Structure 1
Amino acid sequence: MIIATSTFQDIDTIFQLYEAGTDYQKSVAEKHWKGFERGLVETEIRENRQWKMIIGGEIACVFVITYNDPFIWQEKDRDPAIYIHRIATNPQFRGNGFVKHIVAWAKQFAKENKKEYIRMDTGSGNDKLNNYYIQCGFNYLGVFEYPATDDLPEHYKDGSSSLFEIVV
């Protein structure tokens, strides 16, 4: 398995994985992604924040990192952290424990970039997913209700999120 930055040639595959991820979310939870702007992904690629996991020459999983997330993490956003977003797995590779691989990669990345925390959020109410993230090494910090804002993707506008953190 190789973890590398995504390229502009990967955009169609990234959106196919987002669509497959959304379909899967709809089958297991009430909250799901509601689409993403192509320009957002292009910016993430340009800034080397969109990542892919490659197995046998195929993109098996994608994820995004950012260095701040003020609308979700509020005052904690001042901490030196990386935030993981939009993990989407190719359905052909589902069940391979990719989050554990992402965590191992993120710990090394955080150390190299002098970050003290790895953080992520997910829609609240999915205990199975919450427990999986805990098994992957995250500490569960609880449920966060966030204020309405146009600065967040559409799926954040109808509920709350469960927050997770790893101290590096």
Structure 2
Amino acid sequence: MLIVEPAIASDAATILGLRHAAEDWLFARGIDQWTPREVPLTTVAAQIEAGEFHVARRDPRGPIAAALRLIGSDPIIWPEHDEPACYVHGLVIDRSEAGTGLGTLLLDWASEQTRRAGRSLLRLDCAETNGELRSYYLNQGFRHVGRREFADGSAWFSVALFEKSTDR
């Protein structure tokens, strides 16, 4: 069983803790994806307040097992795309849930939410150098549709862009 619901203010520290654990895991393996501690608690709290974050639990009273942001536009990463889409960001899973299929369930949930919102595409991105995550998204039915280069001196790296139709 999986319960996905909007995050509430008191979930912010837990979501950030999941992200920190993921950042540390990635960093220890030399995988470029998230820079450790780049996102402050105030940012997570603001994203929750904006209704962007959702949390997943295996049981209604259980701990948060995963979280993700589902947003209706992403002009920073997808500036030249105006097709009706939703965008996944910050998908993070408790390390104890790795390999359980929880990521697939959350991406399926996001796809269904996108379809219900009348949008035909679910989009996401990852570090261009993160080959394992790129393969994972391809195996989840996403298509690689391009890249976004951040050569303007920002701390961001190039990202690979993926999308998946929500049509059945």
Query: What fraction of aligned residue pairs are identical, expressed as a percent?
Result: 24
Q: Which has the higher contact order (CA 8 A, sep 6+)?
A: 1
- TM-score under structure 1 length normalisation: 0.87
Structure 1 residue runs of 4 or more that deviate by more than 4 Å after TM superposition? none
- How many residue pairs match? The answer is 161
- Map Cα deviations across residues 19-53 of structure 1 (whole Å, 9 max, x no partner): 00101111331343342132322222122210111
2:5 counterpart residue number: 4
Classify the secondary structure of the residue corresponding to 1:17: helix
Partner of 1:48: 51
One-letter amino acid of the structure 2 residue matched with residue 43 of structure 1: A
The aligned residue for residue 132 of structure 1 is 136
Match of 1:142 in 2: 146
| Contact 2:150/2:156 (<8 A) preserved | no
**1:163 equivalent among 149, 161, 165:** 161
Q: 1:25–1:51: structure 2 CA closer, same or farther, 3 Å change rule?
A: same
CA shift, 1:88, in A, is 1.2
Work out whether residues 99 and 136 of structure 1, in 8 Å CA contact, stay in contact via their aligned partners in 2. Answer: no
Give the SS at the match of 1:92.
Answer: helix
Where 2:80 maps in the other structure, the secondary structure is: helix
> Which one-letter code corresponds to 1:96 in the other structure?
T
* Mapping 1:17-56, distance limit 5 Å: 17-28=18-29, 29-34=31-36, 35-56=38-59
Alignment counterpart, residue 96 of structure 2, candidates 84, 87, 92 = 92
TM-score by length of 2: 0.87
Q: 2:79, 2:68 → 1: CA distance?
A: 22
Q: Partners in 2 of 1:84 and 1:30 — Cα distance?
A: 18
Higher-helix-fraction structure: 1
Structure 2: gaps spanning 5 or more residues: none
| DSSP 3-state at the match of 2:108 | helix
Task: Quote the offset at 1:101 in angstroms.
Answer: 0.9
